[in-house]
Structure 1
Amino acid sequence: MNGFESLRPVIVGVDRSEASHWAVRWAADEAAGHHLPLRLLHAQEWPVDRATDVADHPWAIGLRAAGEAVLETARLLATERHPTLEITSELAEGRPVRVLRDAADEATQLVLGVRRVSEAHSALRIGSKGASLAGHLSCPLALVPEPADGLSGPGPVVVGVDGSPASRAAVGFAFEEASIGGTDVLAVEVRRPTEAGRPELVEESLTDLSESLAGWQEKYPEVRVRREVLTGSPAPMLATVATHARCLVIGSRGLGGFRGLLFGSTGRALVHRCTVPLVIVPNGAPA
């Protein structure tokens, strides 16, 4: 059993949106590829003035029926994609952000859909708060956008590298993802434009990449690896490189935001820029 396989399920937050449907497809593929169960999660936040209603009140019954219908649609999507996949459903009451954070403690990966609009919105109707989950979970978070012409591109798994422990955890995830997807890993380090004049820049970056990749090529000999050093603003550079990728993987230190290359605005900007599934791996994730 490898570091990303356990009895913990892949959990996907679902609702009625098309973005949620794409998230279910990604989550089902991830669960099947890692030989894990899939859990479908739909959170319902009851209005304050209805919070004391009895369970058999018609309003409460109707709300729960609507939630069950959402879960059934998601189950059918996942089953159609992987007929033998073990699937469970959960209809939870409470604020979606809190429900998702609690669920992440039990998940191998938490998956959410992101609508393709000027600003990312979570498929669980938690608006901009969806982006706030990035860097604050104990498991990898996959943000799956509505694709223009397919779930992901035919290209490699792209991983952002900066030499930090957080990016090393991301590298481990990227190799695992490439292995189950039968594709390559493209490891990218982006240096700021202010560093462009340093003659040792490329050599230093290649050393960072080699150190971050050390051991993983031996563990996954079937995965071909490419390295690329770029100069520019990290978020747009990574988003551009990953345009036709299977996914883009970045690291966070977990429970507090990004660090190094992925500190602060870079990670948050990628949430809104990335056109392929973006996987944010916390430092300390299994490797």
Structure 2
Amino acid sequence: MTSHDVRRPVVVGVSRSVAARGALDWAADAADRRRLPLRLIHAQEWPAGAAPKDAHESREHLWATHFRAAGQSLLETHRDWAEARHAGLEITMELADGRPSHVLREAAEHAAVLVVGARRAVEPGEVLTFGGVGAALVGHPPCPVVLAFEPVESGEGSGPVVVGVDGSAASAAAVAFAFEEADLWGVPLRAVQVRRPSHGEWPEHAGQSLSDASVVLFGWHEKYPEVHVEREVLMGGQPSAKLAGAATGARCLVVGARGHGGFRGMILGSTSRTLVQLAPCPLMVVPESAQRTWHTR
């Protein structure tokens, strides 16, 4: 059985945050376009000292019963919302016990895409929060991770798919995902490389960068002939800020992840922190080792 025979679900973390609703919309749309199931997961981290879910002491048991009932009700509300958005969508729900980041990390092992809500950091020193999931989630899951930001900008999602390219294996994985995303939504693909010339020879460096990008993009246009591809080299400046600027009005910004030593490490540094703060659209992080299990057509 090949990966294309496995209908891995689009998994989305459900919570009571505003960002979670935006993540649900993105995930439901992705599942509908890909003809994949949608899996809603709400993780409940029990307060310290609280009775376990199977306790039978009267007062503690009553509290535990209400706690789980509230979680189940939240899942059902989000399920109804997704069904109204896409009639006939196959939806499953899971009410899990445990820390959200751990629960979603485990669910990602069998997911086509993992979607989490994220709040945009608005101050330079502010720490990004992923709808309560935590920064540790990014870079770890074996599948692509989508950070659906709130608040949603007006007109978001109507532009091209923007992908950062640099000739690396991680970049190649991101390109594969980006091409399919552009094809599914019928939008152009914009491949962007940010280059810092060492001796000010910008024209020569630009030509080399365009050549590098062509190598990464080679073969994909034949697979997706209807996707219009634009290549762009941006010189100088902060790379993540340049990418964020290029993604203004985009459906999404796609970047590759190299695991512990790559994007996750950059997330904690100034480059990707700036990218996260400035991203004007959903940010899609594709691990280098990701298998393209999301393709269904």
Structure 2: where are the runs of 5+ without partners?
293-297
Does residue 204 of structure 2 align to residue 204 of structure 1? no
Provide closer, same or farther for how the CA distance between residues 178 and 55 of structure 1 changes in structure 2, counting only shifts above 3 A: farther
Does residue 86 of structure 2 align to residue 86 of structure 1? no
- Residue 143 of structure 1: how far off its partner (Å): 0.1
For the pair shown, the structure with the greater C-alpha radius of gyration is: 2
Does residue 185 of structure 2 align to residue 184 of structure 1? no
State the TM-score, normalized to the length of structure 2. 0.87
**Paired residue for 1:114?**
118
Tell me which of 131, 140, 144 is aligned to 2:148: 144
**What is the letter of the counterpart of residue 44 of structure 1?**
Q
- Residue 150 of structure 1: how far off its partner (Å): 4.5
1:105 match: secondary structure: helix
Q: How does 1:1-287 map to 2 (within 5 A)?
A: 6-52=6-52, 54-56=54-56, 57-118=61-122, 119=126, 120-123=128-131, 125-126=132-133, 129=134, 131-150=135-154, 152-192=156-196, 194=198, 196-197=200-201, 199-231=203-235, 232-258=237-263, 265-287=270-292
Structure 1: where are the runs of 5+ without partners?
none
**What is the letter of the counterpart of residue 234 of structure 1?**
P
Matches of 2:265 and 2:205 in 1, distance apart? 16
> Is the contact made by 1:159 and 1:249 (CA closer than 8 Å) also made in structure 2?
yes
- Residue 70 of structure 1: how far off its partner (Å): 1.4
> Is the contact made by 1:44 and 1:95 (CA closer than 8 Å) also made in structure 2?
yes
Number of matched pairs: 282
* CA RMSD across the alignment: 2.4
Deviates more, 1:257-266 or 1:142-151: 257-266
2:166 match: secondary structure: coil
Matches of 2:245 and 2:183 in 1, distance apart? 23
- Residue 255 of structure 1: how far off its partner (Å): 4.7
Matches of 1:150 and 1:109 in 2, distance apart? 25
Provide closer, same or farther for how the CA distance between residues 54 and 262 of structure 1 changes in structure 2, counting only shifts above 3 A: closer
Provide closer, same or farther for how the CA distance between residues 164 and 262 of structure 1 changes in structure 2, counting only shifts above 3 A: farther
1:90 match: secondary structure: strand
State the TM-score, normalized to the length of structure 1. 0.90
Deviates more, 1:193-202 or 1:176-185: 193-202
1:135 match: secondary structure: coil
> Is the contact made by 2:175 and 2:217 (CA closer than 8 Å) also made in structure 1?
yes
> Is the contact made by 1:26 and 1:151 (CA closer than 8 Å) also made in structure 2?
no
Provide closer, same or farther for how the CA distance between residues 51 and 214 of structure 1 changes in structure 2, counting only shifts above 3 A: farther
Matches of 2:93 and 2:78 in 1, distance apart? 9
Provide closer, same or farther for how the CA distance between residues 61 and 148 of structure 1 changes in structure 2, counting only shifts above 3 A: same
- Residue 106 of structure 1: how far off its partner (Å): 1.0
2:49 match: secondary structure: helix
Percent sequence identity over aligned pairs: 54
Deviates more, 1:162-171 or 1:264-273: 264-273
Matches of 1:79 and 1:204 in 2, distance apart? 48
Matches of 1:43 and 1:101 in 2, distance apart? 11
- Residue 195 of structure 1: how far off its partner (Å): 5.7
